[in-house]
Amino acid sequence: MREIVFDTETTGFSFADGDRMVEIGCVELVNKVETGRTYHAYFHPERTMPAEAQRVHGLSDVFLSDKKLFREHALDLIEFIGDCPLVAHNAGFDFGFLNGEFGRCGHPHIGLHRMVDTIVLARSRHPGAKHSLDALCNRYGIDRSHRVVHGALLDAQLLAQVYVELTGGRQIGLGLISEKTEVQTSFQPEAGPATPRPVRTFAASEAELARHAAFIEKLTKPIWEQV
C-alpha cells in the first residue's frame, strides 16, 4: 500500500484570509516503509512574509524571491502524490492550504477521504498526552536534534517515523502466524486404547560383572574404604 506523508510551511494560518503556502515536503511509504522517494519544493508566495511566520520556519522574503510560483510545480506535485492516502499532522490545516493552492491555479481539490490525520491517531493511542510532533518524537525515541526550525521535508520525514509507530511500529506486517493457522498448545494423545510398554531389564551380564570386579581391584585407597 502506497501512502504519502507530507508537511507544509505557510505565511500564516488561513488561506481564505490571504495566507499562502511557501514550502511542501513529501515522503513516500510503501507498506509503512520509506522508499527513499521524496518531493520537496519552495514557492514564491506573491506576498510578504510576516515576521511571526518567519520565526517558525526561517523562510524570508529574500530567500523566496527567486522561487517559482505554486502553479509552476502543481503538475509535478500531482504526479508524485498520485491517488493514495495523504498523511499529515493536523491534516485539516495542510489540506486547506494544499486545496487552496490547487484551486487557485485551476486544479481539482484533493478529496478529504484521502486524509489521514496523525493527531487524531495520537489522541486515540495516547489520550491525555501531548500530541505535538516534538512530543511524539520524544515518546518514540525518534532523533529530532537536527530540527532547529520547522522545515517541510524534515518534518515530513520525522512524521513518517511517528506514523509508523502510531500504526504498529516495526512489527507491522510481521505475520509470523496466519489467523487461519491452528496452533497446538498442548499434547494431544492419539485416540484408541493405550498399549502398555513391555518391561525392559538392564541386568549386567557375567562378563560385565567380571570386568567391573577387575577394575575395582586396581583402585588404590578407594573413597569407600576411607570412611
- Tens digit of each residue's pLDDT (9 = 90 or more) over 167-200: 997 655 444 433 333 333 333 344 445 555 555 5
- Given the residues 107, 126, 150, 212, select the one marked as catalytic: 150
Instruction: Report pLDDT for 210.
Output: 83
150 is catalytic: yes
First-last CA distance in the chain? 79
Which amino acid, one-letter code, is at 223? Answer: I
Domain parsing of the chain, residue ranges = 2-169
pLDDT of residue 159: 97
Between helix 70-81 and helix 91-104 the angle, nearest 10°, is 120
Q: Name residues of the chain where pLDDT drops below 70.
A: 148, 170-202, 224-227
Residue 148 CA to its chain's centroid (Å): 23
Q: What is the pLDDT of residue 218?
A: 80
CATH superfamily of 2-169: Ribonuclease H-like superfamily/Ribonuclease H (3.30.420.10)
| pTM tops 0.85 | no
Q: Using the 8-state DSSP alphabet, how is residue 196 labeled? A: P
pLDDT of residue 202: 60
Cβ proximity of 41 and 22 under 8 Å: no
| Closest C-alpha to 134, from 112, 161, 106 | 161
Q: How many CA atoms lie within 13 A of 226 on its CB side?
A: 5
**What's the rounded Cα separation, in Å, for the pair 176 and 159?**
27
Lookup: cell for 122: 495520537
